[in-house]
Amino acid sequence: MVAHRMVDVNGIRLHIAEQGEGPLVVLLHGFPESWHSWHRQFGPLVDAGFRVVAPDQRGYGSSDHPDDVDAYTILHLVGDVVGLIKELGEEKAYVVGHDWGAPVAWHTALLRPDMVLGVAGLSVPPPFRGPHRPLAMMRELFGGRFYWNYFERPGVADAEFDRDTRATLRKFFYYASASASPSGEIAQPMVDPERGWLADMKDPEVLPEWLTEDDLDALAESFSGGFTGALNWYRNLDRNWELTAPWDNAVVTRPSLYIYGDRDLVPAFPGARDLIEQLPAFMPNLHRKPVELADCGHWTQQERPDEVNAALIDFLTA
């Protein structure tokens, strides 16, 4: 059975779900998710001989939601992972992340390779730091309509998403899934800043088969305190670019794995496909070439749990 408890980490309290014994595997969720996004990974990883822990990261679920926007930088998030590994009585762990959890996992391996046995990222490729501030760059490319720039406006997306939490999540999960792009065409995630993002998102009459009403209930409950903490991660994108300047041109040297869906909107971001194609040359310990999952959208481990579990177990036991 998956057990739940609160732990003191890096000056805050985190809610964690845990199960199993063996080498530690830390699973880091993305936006707008919670520890529950990994519930299909617990059983297979535990059966493969691992101790599995998935936190609600800061700003999410039952974990603390610091008020200060500056409390959500990549250094805080990596610090939470480092503190969690230590709090769990371990010196090293495998770190796996999806969506926003992937940059946290990659940066943990980049900044603290001494504590990372191996690192896997789903959807978001490794953090090769670009020459420009991300928010400023997207603002220039897309005239302020890219969703990052919508999220950076204090209180705006927060209020839109809070109006009907369950409908917000239902629309998000359908919008970024393979079900929403049967033709394989992927549009850039643009937002009319006056109408909001949800206005043009389809509200599906039937959920994708991998997303149950119980899953949606768990997600909605985790956002009962609002979306501000989660959105504050995006509001630090330019700050993260500044803070990671000492690691410019550094690469992840720990054993690594990258998995993504062929209909995921993230690999369709400007420059992302070129980066993915070059990963084998950039990543000295890439376990295998990037794993592309057919007919898979953004919610990698939820849309394709069997394939993801098989790839993770192959990597973790290698």
Which residues are identified as catalytic?
99, 298
Q: How far is CA 251 from CA 80, 106, 286, in A?
A: 21, 10, 11
Residue 245 buriedness (CB in 10 A; 0-12 / 13-18 / 19+): exposed
Residues 6+ apart with CB under 8 A from 277: none
How many CA atoms lie within 13 Å of 137's alpha carbon, on the beta-carbon side?
12
**Token pair 């020459």 is at which residue?**
131
How many CA atoms lie within 13 Å of 177's alpha carbon, on the beta-carbon side?
21
Distance CA 18, CA 4 (A): 6
Distance CA 148, CA 235 (A): 8
**Number of C-beta neighbours around residue 193 at 10 A:** 15
Q: Euclidean distance between the first and final Cα of the chain, in Å?
A: 26
Amino acid at 51: R
What is the number of residues in the chain? Answer: 318
Q: What angle do CA 132, 111, 291 make, to 5 degrees?
A: 75
Note the Cα 16 to chain centre separation in Å.
Answer: 16
Distance CA 220, CA 1 (A): 22
Distance CA 318, CA 316 (A): 6
Distance CA 299, CA 210 (A): 10
